[in-house]
Amino acid sequence: MSASDSAVSDVPVITVDGPGGSGKGTITTRLANHLGWHFLDSGALYRLTALAVMKNQVPLEDENSLGEVAANLDIRFDTSGSDVISWLDGENVSDSLRFEETGVLASKIAVIAVVRSALTERQRRFRQPPGLVADGRDMGTVIFPDAKLKIFLTASAQIRAERRYKQLKEKGESVNLARLFREIQARDLRDQSRSVAPLRPAEDAVIIDSTGLSIDEVFNKIVSLI
Ligand code: C5P
């Protein structure tokens, strides 16, 4: 191990994994602000890869080209107040990044091993002093197995569909709750049953079910664990 490796592994990491709609994004951002630490939204990397795949019209069967797209992503994140602006090839893609179809395509390419390995180093580079809060599916199991605190945040599929419905409605997207519920279940199944880095709690993770809890209650629970 080099001197710089040991310096990086000294930087503390808190991982927050779990299915979409469990409140991870909100909690992770709040936690990072509270601690003054960096923040990694790993789902955004899979979503940006999905947008690049759409843009380059790469067929899903062509795994090598998908891996190349992931390895050569030209992306940047800017923070403006509480908003994060995401850039792909110099274009602001913050809106299309959050479209439901982008998330669905992201979960389809996330099952491909070459895509995951192409994004691994990029995610680890977010580990910078004074610390990192990382949000995803495999942060505690694969990307930062040595994290100091690992949270697995979950909630029932019904409540997650309702939260997502509200979010999309507020953004003016036309949505159907029953369809969202089915998509969430299909996405959960894909994330949990893939052979590489499936969605599951790390053995040393603290599992929090946010179904009956407010964001404040979940936040306070995690702060009490730090
Ligand atoms: O969290 P978000 O909904 O933005 O993630 C989009 C998709 O990217 C997820 O459904 C999941 O399939 C994939 N993903 C992943 N590993 C991560 C983060 C996201 O496989 N660490």
Query: What are the per-10-residue average pLDDT scores of the chain (226 residues)?
Result: 62 95 90 95 97 97 96 91 89 93 92 96 96 96 96 94 89 88 90 89 95 93 95
Name residue, tokens 């969202």. 180
What's the count of helices (H) and strands (E) in the chain, helices before strands? 10, 8
pLDDT at position 3 is 46
**Residue 78 φ/ψ, nearest 5 degrees:** -120, 140
Tracing tokens 């509270």 back to the chain, one arrives at 34
Tell me the three state secondary structure of residue 67.
helix
Question: What's residue 194's pLDDT?
Answer: 87
Q: Which domains does the chain have, with CATH numbers?
A: 24-136 (3.40.50.300), 156-209 (no CATH)
Rounded distance between C-alpha atoms, residue 157 and residue 18, angstroms: 12
39 in contact with ligand 1, CB cutoff 6 A = no
Cα gap 75→191, rounded to integer Å: 24
To test ligand 1's pocket by mutation, which of 17, 46, 141, 150 has the most ligand atoms within 8 angstroms of CB? 46
- 24 CB within 6 A, ligand 1: no
**Nearest CA residue ID for atom 9, ligand 1:** 107
Mapped onto helix, strand or coil, the DSSP state of residue 212 is coil
Residue 4: what pLDDT? 52
Query: How many whole angstroms separate alpha carbon 203 and alpha carbon 183?
Result: 28
Element (H, E) at 207: strand 206-209
User: 151: which strand partners?
Assistant: 16, 206
Task: Give residue 152 CA to ligand 1 midpoint distance, Å.
Answer: 14
Tell me the CA distances in angstroms from 56 to 66, 108, 119, one per residue in order: 10, 16, 18
Tokens at 40, concatenated = 């990694």
Q: What long-range pairs does 6-12 form, CB within 8 A, spacing at least 24? A: 8/124, 8/127, 9/146, 11/127, 11/128, 11/129, 11/130, 11/131, 11/132, 12/37, 12/130, 12/131, 12/132, 12/147, 12/148
Confidence at residue 1, expressed as pLDDT on a 0 to 100 scale:
46
- What is d(CA 114, CA 129) in angstroms, rounded to the nearest whole number? 29
Q: Specify the DSSP class assigned to residue 205.
A: P
Q: What is the pTM of this model?
A: 0.91
